[in-house]
Each structure stands twice: as C-alpha cells, then as structure tokens.
Amino acid sequence: MARTSDIEKAAGVLRAGGLVAFPTETVYGLGANAEDPAAVGRVFQVKGRPPSHPLIVHIGGAEHLGDWVEDVPATARLLAEHFWPGPLTLVLRRGRRVPLEATGGLETVAVRVPDHPVALALLSAFGGGVAAPSANRFGSVSPTTANHVRAELGDAVDFVLDGGPCEVGVESTIVDATGEAPSVLRPGGVTREDLEAVLECPLAVHSTSRVRVPGQHPSHYAPRARVVLVEPEKVVAEAELAQELGHQVGVLLPPSFADAAVKAHAVVAVPGSMAAYARGLYGFLRELDQRGCDLIVASLPVEEGLGLAIANRLRRAAGPRR
Ligand code: TXA
Ligand code: MG
C-alpha cells in the first residue's frame, strides 16, 4: 500500500510534468496534470492512444466541479452529490482551465471524483485535476492491480502508486449531463438502476454506439486471445470443439455450469455475484492470456445491474480487431 511519502513523491512527479499510475476503485489510471498540455500529450504517447480520444479529469471533491466545467446543470449537481466519490463520470461543458489536449479537441469535458483513499490522497496533495485514462495500452485490457500496470507500461510511467486490487473492477459509468435529459455513454460501476432511482426517470443507454463518443471503438478491452461469445449452455461444447480443432482454449465458465468438467486448456469459473465477476473480469482475461490461450469462449451475463457493464466489456473484447 502507498505510504504518505509515496503520495508526496507522486504529487511532485505530477507537478514536474511527469506521469503517475494510481489506483481508483474502478481500474488503475495513468495520470498527468490536467492543466499541462505537454504532460497530457505524454499520456497519449505512452498509451498509443489517438489524440482525439478524450481523457477523464479526476478531481478531489464535488465542491471543485465548478472550477473545471463551464456550467453545472441541476441534474449534474444532483448526480455528483449522490454518487461522488464513486464510479460515475459526468460529461459537461469544458471549463477554460481544461486544455483541448485533454478533451481530444471537444468543447465538453469528462470529470469524476474517484472513491479510493490513495487516489483522494494524491488529488489532495497535488491540489489540481489529474487527467487519466485507464493505465493500459490502447485497446487492451484495463489494469486492476499495480502489477498489471508495471507489466504493461514498465518504465514509461514515472511512478506507480500501489493501492492494492481495485474493488469495482470495471470502469466508471459515463453520463452525458450537458443537456436536459442525461444519457449513459458507457455503462460502468454505477448501475443504470441506481441512476434512474436518483433521477426518477428512465435513462437512455448508448452503450453500443460506434460514433457518438470518440474512444468507444467496437474492439476495446481486448486480451491477446480472440474472444468468442456463445449462449451459456453452449460454452462447454464450443470450447471442447475448438480445443479438438487445435486451439488452446480458455473458458469463462458461467456459474450455472460451474461443476462441468471441460476439456480445454484453461478454465476460469465465473463468480455468481455480478460484483465479484466485475471485480475479477479483467484479471481473468489477463490470466487466460498468460496461460497461453489463443481463444477464449465466454457468454454474456444478464444485462441488468453490473451485468450491463460486464456484457459491454465482453462484447468489445469480442469485437472485430483493428
Ligand atoms: O473508471 C474510469 O473511468 C477509469 C479510471 C482511471 O477513472 N478511466 C477510464 O478512462 O476508463 P478511459 O480513458 O479509459 O476512458 C474514458 C472514456 C473515453 O474513452 C471516452 O469515451 C470518454 O471517456 N470521454 C472522455 N471525455 C469525454 C467527452 N468529453 N465526451 C464524451 N466522452 C468522453
Ligand atoms: Mg480505457
């Protein structure tokens, strides 16, 4: 776990224009001073991410929101007060303080307050906003431990803060709160049901849109192995067939088939609780890669609660590769 001296050191790295990987409750972020265009530019370079894909600005508390956006509509205020700190990102009109480099040239900016003691300590010590995407290479699986970050980005990061494994395991829910009717741009750690309960109205979800949001490619969150999605009751047969055909098959075995003996290269039994599945998802995909699988057979969970975010990530992991 990060010590106070680590936090101070990390804040110094940010002030000097460097990059700090830090834990949040969702996934690890690759952070830079949001107001330093050169530092933000390095984030894109290290990730191999196109400059048009906007970053999320992380701030230390809802009370600072007005410093980073042009206007805080009542709905945005309500959501911030209710869900921050937490896995919710609000897209609002860009404040002048935010350079266009951080927003991919957009006149909107994504902002969130992460719910992790190390992230909050870093933001407090630094005193500004930290622009951070997930700390992985463009298109690949997000990191949920400090070791994932070190393995993937190594020396390209100036400092890695270790805050242990991430509790939520999938990224934040992104809500477009610029207009009258908010909509979900990316399902994530705050469920649609929780948002609707607070808003007292149904919410549109654009989780499969390919053009609306820069950075939401059909292929994303992808392990090295190809991912194939089938109905839960077909997972075992599909995996065994592919294994017989010569693939090194990794299986994400649905909970209702947890007792099945599967002839495959590697099998991960998926937890029955959606919270545990979300927490483990990226680690499972990394593990199957590491064990040498070239094909992963999985099925989608029921798309409610956290199941919506898990299904979104699995679909993208299975999407056509660039
Ligand atoms: O949980 C998370 O959100 C993690 C942690 C580190 O906070 N961050 C994360 O960042 O997932 P990233 O860069 O991997 O995904 C952020 C996504 C972008 O791909 C983009 O689709 C969306 O946020 N985004 C950012 N700014 C936006 C904007 N102004 N308008 C619409 N979408 C935006
Ligand atoms: Mg990402």
The CATH number covering residue 308 comes to 3.40.50.11030
How confident is residue 277, by pLDDT bands cut at 50, 70 and 90?
A: very high
**Known binder of ligand: residue 49?**
yes
**Digit-coded pLDDT (tens) for 130-150:** 999 999 999 999 999 999 999
Output the pLDDT for position 217. Answer: 67
Enumerate the H helices of 127-223 as residue ranges. Answer: 146-153, 192-199
Say if residue 102 is in the same domain as residue 240.
no
Decide if 211 is inside a domain. no
Residue 173 CA to ligand 2 center (angstroms) comes to: 12
Decide if 280 is inside a domain. yes
On the question of pLDDT at 240 being above 90, the answer is yes
Domain with 271 in it: 226-317
Task: Please give the average per-residue pLDDT across 66-83, as a whole number.
Answer: 97
Q: Under a CB-based contact definition with an 8 Å cutoff, are residues 277 and 310 in contact? A: yes
Task: Please give the average per-residue pLDDT across 290-308, as a whole number.
Answer: 97
Decide if 221 is inside a domain. no
Output the pLDDT for position 209. Answer: 41
Enumerate the H helices of the chain as residue ranges. Answer: 4-15, 37-47, 74-83, 117-126, 146-153, 192-199, 235-244, 274-290, 307-317
Say if residue 231 is in the same domain as residue 199.
no
More confident residue, 180 or 278: 278
Say if residue 58 is in the same domain as residue 170.
yes
Decide if 214 is inside a domain. no
Output the pLDDT for position 211. Answer: 36
**Known binder of ligand: residue 265?**
no
Residue 137 CA to ligand 1 center (angstroms) comes to: 14
Q: Which of 213, 216, 316 to mutate to test the pocket of ligand 1 (most atoms within 8 A of CB)?
A: 213
Say if residue 172 is in the same domain as residue 116.
yes
Output the pLDDT for position 213. Answer: 52
Say if residue 31 is in the same domain as residue 174.
yes
Q: Under a CB-based contact definition with an 8 Å cutoff, are residues 206 and 184 in contact? A: yes
pLDDT-above-90 percentage for the chain: 90
Say if residue 165 is in the same domain as residue 283.
no
With tokens 């409750």, the residue in question is 25
Say if residue 243 is in the same domain as residue 147.
no
How confident is residue 180, by pLDDT bands cut at 50, 70 and 90?
A: confident
* ipTM score of complex: 0.99
Whole-number Å distance between alpha carbons of 246 and 232: 22
- Using a 6 Å CB cutoff, which residues line ligand 1? 24, 26-27, 29, 53-56, 87, 89, 91, 103, 106, 108-110, 114, 132-134, 171-172, 174, 185, 213, 215-216
Say if residue 54 is in the same domain as residue 190.
yes
Decide if 210 is inside a domain. no
Count of domains in the chain? 2
**Digit-coded pLDDT (tens) for 202-221:** 998 885 443 345 556 667 88
Say if residue 193 is in the same domain as residue 260.
no
